[in-house]
Amino acid sequence: MLHIATVDALKQFDLNITLGQISPDCSDYMGEAVLVNEQLPGPAIIVNQGDRVRVTVRNFLPPSEGSNITGAGLNDVAVHFHGIRQYGSSYADGVPLLTQMPIPPGGEFIHEFRVINQAGTFFYHAHIGLQEQTVFGPFIVQENESDASEKYDDEHIISLSEWWHVSRTSLEEYMLGPQFKIIPEAQSVLINGRTLYNINMPSSSSKCAGYSVIPVEHGKTYRLRVIGATIFRTLGFGIASHNLTIIEVDGEPVRPYSVEYLEVAPGQRFSVLLHASQISGDYTIGTNRRWAEGVSRGSNGMALLSYDAAHGTDNTYRLPPNQPNFPVDEVPQWIWPNLQPKFGVDPIVHKTSSRTIKLRATDQKMEDGTRQWYINGIAFAEPKRPILTDLAQGRRRHPTVGGTEAGAVDGYDPYLGTYPIEYYEIVDFVLQSTHVPGEPCRTHPWHTHGHSHWEIANGPGEYNEARDGLVRNIPHPIQKDITLIYPQIDPDEEIRSNNTLATDQVGCGWAKIRILADNPGIWAMHCHNSPHMIQGMMIILEEAPELISFPQNFQF
């Protein structure tokens, strides 16, 4: 945990970004990685609800020439506080060229914000290229004692991440280069930054710490904060012989709901209660790949739940024979329709929306061989300067709301390159997935900055406003900041009138999410599958820019 300096109720933290050589999976591959305070995961930031927080991010990476990422240098950095809504502090959101300049080697950036009306499990991570493979750490907001209705004896943080046996820069070059074909599977899935790549033989050339150990005492109840810090795969997560009781999703309390396993999308977080009621011993904490068509479901992401005993070095290399069970069949929507908000459904869910904006995601192989994602046929383009800087300096024109600008598509302002929304609008976004029939329909975990949202409906195939506009098939919508769009193919839409498969991209599943525009700012909204994001699966919401406030020390 980070050392906390407290001055006048201000909690201060330092995140120092450095390079290190690591082998977190005890393999023969020793790779150069970008780290936070020389740790993987980075140190936990722990604050209380309502705290004022100052985080100083310092870039100690070496200077470099060239870049794989548009708008940022190879060793530039930026850090985003995922799930923190940043009420009144859009400038602290940590998105390069939207809210700030990338931090160059030798530079620093100070994020100062207050945690308003939020408590639960969050995390911070890099927001340039694929640095977030190793640049991440927990951000925990403790509830006020009067709000903590679920009782438990202790808690543990469990971060799930991926580790490729190739450098970050090489992976970026492949994802953005002409050789790209598919996103490769990570060689290892890590639990709290550790696993064994070869379960039978840890490498003698690496300093192998073995599996992570989560200690428990018989008869006690634990809150496990599970953080999906993966950048590609949705993972199943389970513990042998133990059920998990979900009590929080993405920082929002839910009514307790017991499951055998979790389905954790990139960027998603859960709090679950674990009752340590089994016979004392070791139990396998395991993962598997979900919605992974054409690849093995198996995963080497393992750890140990250990009762009443401190582990020595030797036995952190061995797993007990018990294993968690993951179903072979995958069901769209998992258990989401069964979850209910702890304090009832927000009345905003039942109001009439101001408008509906459909975001249809398609991908295309370009003439140079690279892969590009489009939203409504428009490729994401990085601004040349941070949008907030232009607003603060009065160099940006007022947006046209509602898509009346010439060339506008579904609310998009082509002059500004954003989707303008007005203060306190209720806006529904339809997140539309597509594929070419006969090819896989991929899952997409969409993330909203500056807002939690409500998923109010979903369905198969292509969303049609006349047919689907009034569909409400989520019984008790909960607030969250990640919604996974599941593959839901409509066979009738796959076939053309001549009884042959369609050759263009057709809809293969959609979800409708609702946002209340109560937070003026410049907000990213993107797929949290990071390769998809850097290939263009991202938009910008420009929310009530005339109401955005700037601190006196705003960093231009």
Instruction: Encode pLDDT of 13-63 as tens digits.
Output: 999 999 999 999 999 999 999 999 999 999 999 999 999 999 999 999 999
407 band by pLDDT with thresholds 50, 70 and 90: very low
**What pLDDT does residue 68 have?**
66
- Please give the mean pLDDT across all residues of the chain: 91
**What pLDDT does residue 293 have?**
81
Are 487 and 473 contacting, i.e. CB atoms less than 8 angstroms apart?
Answer: no
Mean pLDDT to the nearest integer, 335-349: 96
pLDDT at 8 over 50: no
Q: What angle do CA 535, 419, 120 make, to 5 degrees?
A: 75
Question: Phi first, then psi: what are they for 537, rounded to 5°?
Answer: -85, 75
**What pLDDT does residue 6 have?**
45
**What pLDDT does residue 409 have?**
53
Are 24 and 41 contacting, i.e. CB atoms less than 8 angstroms apart?
Answer: no
Calpha distance 461→455 (Å, rounded): 17
1 band by pLDDT with thresholds 50, 70 and 90: low
Distances (CA, A) of 510 to 53, 268, 434, 462, 465: 37, 19, 9, 7, 12
Closest CA to 246 of 262, 228, 229: 262
pLDDT at 2 over 90: no
337 band by pLDDT with thresholds 50, 70 and 90: very high
Report field, pTM of the whole predicted structure over 0.85: yes
| Nearby residues of 156 by Cβ (< 8 Å), 6 or more positions away | 214, 222, 223, 224, 225
Calpha distance 467→460 (Å, rounded): 12
Helix or strand run (H / E) with residue 171: helix 168-176
Question: Phi first, then psi: what are they for 168, rounded to 5°?
Answer: -55, -40
Q: Which residue has the higher pLDDT, 179 or 408?
A: 179
Q: What angle do CA 69, 538, 175 make, to 5 degrees?
A: 40
**What pLDDT does residue 186 have?**
96
Instruction: Encode pLDDT of 345-401 as tens digits.
Output: 999 999 999 999 999 999 999 999 899 999 999 989 889 899 999 999 999 998 876
Tokens read off for 340: 């209910």
Calpha distance 539→310 (Å, rounded): 48
Q: Which residue has the higher pLDDT, 202 or 486?
A: 486
Calpha distance 143→290 (Å, rounded): 32
116: exposed, middle or buried (C-beta count within 10 Å: 0-12, 13-18, 19+)? Answer: middle
7: exposed, middle or buried (C-beta count within 10 Å: 0-12, 13-18, 19+)? Answer: exposed
Q: What angle do CA 537, 55, 134 make, to 5 degrees?
A: 50
Closest CA to 125 of 532, 530, 454: 530
Backbone CA torsion sign across 445, 446, 451, 452: negative
Mean pLDDT to the nearest integer, 157-174: 96
pLDDT at 292 over 80: yes
Are 46 and 3 contacting, i.e. CB atoms less than 8 angstroms apart?
Answer: no
**What pLDDT does residue 309 have?**
67
**What pLDDT does residue 404 have?**
47
pLDDT at 406 over 60: no
Greatest CA separation found in the chain? 72
pLDDT at 190 over 70: yes
**What pLDDT does residue 87 have?**
96
Mean pLDDT to the nearest integer, 312-317: 65
pLDDT at 148 over 80: no
Give 3-state DSSP helix, strand, coil % of the chain, rounded to 5: 10, 40, 50
495 band by pLDDT with thresholds 50, 70 and 90: confident
Mean pLDDT to the nearest integer, 242-271: 97
pLDDT at 402 over 50: yes
Calpha distance 191→285 (Å, rounded): 9
Question: Phi first, then psi: what are they for 80, rounded to 5°?
Answer: -110, 145
Tokens read off for 75: 């060793």
Tokens read off for 32: 């150069």
Q: Is 88 left (phi over 0), alpha (psi -120 to 50) or beta?
A: left
Percent of the chain residues topping a pLDDT of 90: 79
**What pLDDT does residue 65 have?**
76
Calpha distance 172→90 (Å, rounded): 28
pLDDT at 70 over 80: no
